[in-house]
Amino acid sequence: MSIRIAGTGSYLPERILTNADLEKMVETSDEWIRSRTGIAERHIAAPEESASSMAKIAAERALDAAGVSAKELDLIIVASTTPDYVFPNTGCCLQNLIGAENAFCFDLCAACSGLIYGMAVASSMLKANRKYRHAIVCGSEKLSHIIDWSDRNTCVLFGDGAGAVLLERTDDGNDDDPLPAATLASDGRSAETLMIPAGGSRMPLTPELLAQRQNCIRMKGQETFKLAVNSMVSASRQILEETGYRPSDLALVIPHQANRRITQAVAARLEIDPSIVVDNIEYCANTSSATIGIALDEVVRNGRLKRGDLLLLTAFGSGLTWGSMLLRY
């Protein structure tokens, strides 16, 4: 038995917001944004688009790539910090949109680490119960809905989009194969480093809080940067040591696309060849739980990732959450 990626898919909204556009909205500049983040533009969802509608397109593309019908899905996991509703879960909304009537569905909230968390959960469930064969994990975010467009420190960072990964259990593998393997971690002591203060049961949204934009992303930038680098490096080293692989064995590394300086620092500390580190932040920006799925679909479709390649995924997000996953494509 083995778990493999059978298909990938992604979706980016049509509208593009460039750094030049942001110069007209807040006190910033293209040079300032590029030099500090590597971002040149980001995609912004249309008013009628939602986490489920974007996930639908990404999921259908993954199903089509795998040659699997929606009715063959046993499990749907949607990772999102911007779900359609408080409840029902967006996984159920996605199930309805694609006609996956035989799947059970739930959401997972681990912010930017969501896709890795979801893939780890899905692969474990496929291994544990042989009646499950196909699981789709989607990271989908409409972050433009929770951005304070007057805060130049955060509004330049984020974009919208969705990525999907279809996992399949096959019976032609080795039960002793450790891949895919994941190491996941959290630290709630630093939860206030990156958060949305209001809108939950702890601080229900009021007109006063809405006027203060307390329903938008708040981030301590320098602290987040340090924690992100340290956490992704630690998790990546741990998973490589546990599985017996070395950085030189990797074909590609897909880190969460939060900031180019973060990915460069992670690669340098892990002594990974920068040429194998996937970077699409320039034209996608930070799409939270969707970044890794979007980047993965990109390298699959352009032929940069080939069957048999060893792939490392690593992410860091609010919570705090972080983790790394090692798998063979």
Catalytic, 112? Answer yes
Q: What pLDDT is recorded for position 267?
A: 97
pLDDT digits (tens, 9 = 90+) for 261-279: 999 999 999 999 999 999 9
Domains and CATH numbers, the chain: 2-170 (3.40.47.10), 181-328 (3.40.47.10)
Q: Which of 19, 89, 259, 286 is catalytic?
A: 286
Catalytic, 93? Answer no
Confidence of residue 64 (pLDDT cuts 50, 70, 90): very high
Confidence of residue 178 (pLDDT cuts 50, 70, 90): confident
Mean pLDDT taken over the chain: 96
Q: State yes or no: pLDDT of 177 exceeds 80.
A: no
Catalytic, 286? Answer yes
Q: What pLDDT is recorded for position 174?
A: 67
Q: What pLDDT is recorded for position 173?
A: 65
Is-above-0.95 flag for pTM? yes
pLDDT digits (tens, 9 = 90+) for 213-224: 999 999 999 999
Q: Which of 43, 92, 105, 256 is catalytic?
A: 256
Q: Are 68 and 7 in contact (CB under 8 A)?
A: yes
Q: Which of 93, 112, 155, 216 is catalytic?
A: 112
pLDDT digits (tens, 9 = 90+) for 27-42: 999 999 999 999 999 9
pLDDT digits (tens, 9 = 90+) for 118-131: 999 999 999 999 99
Report how far apart, in Å, the C-alpha atoms of 172 and of each of 2, 133, 314 are. 7, 13, 27
Query: In 10 A of CB 198, how many CB atoms?
Result: 19
